[in-house]
């Protein structure tokens, strides 16, 4: 099976690649070819099969057609610029997050009309497709009314995925990812980055800044579970999913205070003392419009699973990023 990962140099793209390479298969289906694409060339994995590494911008005309020409059986579309960057640079946000998606979907459509090509397309959407006022928990049938450019771009991508799937051009599944926590590496430009920062840095003895009150509540999932969502979506029975192809993923609803108490239980008071509170009114206002938690009834019934506690999310980070010990 040939698998293409768009956004392969990003955090989730790298972890997805590592998981596929380690297992050599997706849900029992052997993988013998990988195409890894990003705006910077992804690193070559130690993979027994064939690997194509591509440095390309999917929003550039012709790049999507070049990718689809190899007829990958599965396409993971993870490429995007994050929320804060999409808000600051309107043109770039729409070019990368929307135009790139439309060009990919259209390239698959044209190939489908030529020779019946019909891959599985897994689209990484976001809970940013929902905007305040929001109930808690948010039900599966809640309307998508995003209040950011990033959320709007993802919501349009969801509509396109549903329509192209309905027309039979591909089998698409959109998964609305919770905020991924704890993200490894350095902070990115996402406005929600502090959720990871206040845990990741103290775990290695570094100071972290907390810009919001302890009462802020949000919806989280570990990188390990996020990769699990992608792989499950790649092989799930679309007949069981039905015509509503975009799913809100399960996760863990927690306040910042509950995050901090989980850090205390796992790493002690010394780690918690490294969190420095610097209130930021703008970020706090942004948090008022973020999703506090979901029912995720459909996704749970379809077999998607996530962590049950923040202690578990922290331990996953320690196992996957810190060698298993502090």
Over the range 52-63, which residues count as b (16 or more CB within 10 Å of their CB) and which as e?
ebbebebbeeeb
> Tens digits of per-residue pLDDT, 290-326?
999 999 999 999 999 999 999 999 999 999 999 999 8
Under the banding of pLDDT at 50, 70 and 90, the label for residue 258 is very high
pLDDT of residue 286: 84
Give residues with Cβ within 8 angstroms of 159, minimum separation 6: none
Residue 298 lies in a domain: no
Q: Tell me the mean pLDDT in the region 172-177.
A: 98
Q: pLDDT-derived band of residue 17, with 50, 70 and 90 as boundaries? A: very high
- Indicate which CATH number applies to the domain containing 230: 3.40.50.720
- Is 186 among the domain residues? no
Residues 244 and 261 occupy one common structural domain: no
Instruction: Specify the pLDDT at position 208.
Output: 96
Q: Is pTM beyond 0.75 here?
A: yes
End-to-end CA distance of the chain: 39
b/e map of 85-101 (b: 16 or more CB within 10 Å)?
bbbeeeeebbbbbbbbb
Q: Is residue 326 part of a domain?
A: no
What is residue 250's predicted lDDT score, i.e. its pLDDT?
98
Average pLDDT over residues 180-195: 87
The tally of domains found in the chain comes to 2
Q: Is residue 183 part of a domain?
A: no
| 40 within a domain of the structure (yes/no) | yes
**Per-residue pLDDT tens over the stretch 144-163:** 999 999 999 999 999 999 99
* Confidence category of residue 202, pLDDT binned at 50, 70, 90: very high
Do residues 98 and 40 both lie within one domain?
Answer: yes
Name the band, by pLDDT with cuts 50, 70 and 90, for residue 288: confident
Shared domain check, 281 and 226: no
Show the domain range for 263: 191-218+252-292+307-321
CB 199 within 8 A of CB 182: yes
Q: Write out pLDDT tens, residues 112-140.
A: 999 999 999 999 999 999 999 999 999 99
Kindly state whether residue 119 falls inside one of the protein's structural domains: yes
Query: For the chain, what is the mean pLDDT?
Result: 96
Per-residue pLDDT averaged across 249-262, rounded? Answer: 98
Does residue 276 form part of some domain?
yes
CATH label of the domain that carries residue 258:
3.90.25.10
Res. 249 pLDDT band, cuts 50 70 90: very high
| Residues 258 and 280 both lie in one domain | yes
Residues 147 and 214 placed together within one structural domain of the fold:
no
- Percent of the chain at pLDDT exceeding 90: 92
Residues 9 and 43 in one domain: yes
Residues 18 and 49 in one domain: yes
If one compares 266 and 192, the residue with the highest pLDDT of the two is 266
Q: Tell me whether residue 256 is exposed, middle or buried, using C-beta atoms within 10 angstroms of its C-beta: 0 to 12, 13 to 18, 19 or more.
A: buried
Q: What pLDDT, in 10s, does the model give residues 92-110?
A: 999 999 999 999 999 999 9
Residue 282 has pLDDT above 90, yes or no: no
pLDDT in the model for residue 84: 82
- Predicted pLDDT at 190: 74
The DSSP bridge partners found for residue 122 are 76, 173
Does the pLDDT of residue 278 top 90, yes or no?
Answer: yes
Kindly state whether residues 141 and 273 are assigned to the same domain. Answer: no
Considering the domain architecture, whether residues 16 and 110 belong to the same structural domain is answered as yes
Positive or negative, the CA dihedral 319, 249, 45, 6 is: negative
Catalytic residues: 150
- Nearest alpha-carbon partner for 257 in 306, 180, 198: 198
Collapsing DSSP to helix, strand or coil, 326 comes out as: coil
User: Would 300 be classed as within a structural domain?
Assistant: no
pLDDT, average across residues 257-263: 98
281 and 157 both lie in a single domain: no
In a shared domain, residues 205 and 229: no
Q: Which of 54-68, 79-93, 293-307 has the lowest mean pLDDT?
A: 79-93
């Amino acid at each position: 099976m040939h698998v293409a990962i768009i956004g392969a140099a990003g955090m989730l793209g790298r972890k997805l690649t590592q998981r596929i390479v380690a297992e050599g298969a997706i849900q029992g289906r052997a993988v013998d070819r990988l195409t890894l694409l990003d705006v910077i060339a992804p690193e070559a994995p130690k993979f027994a099969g064939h690997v194509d590494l591509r440095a390309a911008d999917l929003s550039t005309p012709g790049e999507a057609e070049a990718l689809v020409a190899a007829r990958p059986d599965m396409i993971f579309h993870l490429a995007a610029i994050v929320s804060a960057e999409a808000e600051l640079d309107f043109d770039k946000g729409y070019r990368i997050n929307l135009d790139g998606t439309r060009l990919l979907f259209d390239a698959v459509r044209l190939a489908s009309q030529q020779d019946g090509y019909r891959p599985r397309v897994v689209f990484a959407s976001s809970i940013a497709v929902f905007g305040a006022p929001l109930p808690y928990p948010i039900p599966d049938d809640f309307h998508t009314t995003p209040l950011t450019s990033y959320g709007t771009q993802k919501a349009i991508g969801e509509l396109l995925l549903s329509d192209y799937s309905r027309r039979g051009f591909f089998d698409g599944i959109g998964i609305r990812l919770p905020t991924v926590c704890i993200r490894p590496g350095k902070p990115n430009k996402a406005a929600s980055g502090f959720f990871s920062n206040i845990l990741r840095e103290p775990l290695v003895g570094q100071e972290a800044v907390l810009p919001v009150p302890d009462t802020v509540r949000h919806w989280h999932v570990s990188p390990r579970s996020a990769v699990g969502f992608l792989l499950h979506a790649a092989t799930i029975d679309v007949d069981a999913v039905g015509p509503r192809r975009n799913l809100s993923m399960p996760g863990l609803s927690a306040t910042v205070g509950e995050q901090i108490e989980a850090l205390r239980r796992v790493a002690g008071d010394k780690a918690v003392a490294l969190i420095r509170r610097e209130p930021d009114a703008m970020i706090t206002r942004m948090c008022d419009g973020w999703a506090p938690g979901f029912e995720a009834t459909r996704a749970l019934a379809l077999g998607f699973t996530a962590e049950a506690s923040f202690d578990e999310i922290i331990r996953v980070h320690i196992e996957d990023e810190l060698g298993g010990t502090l």
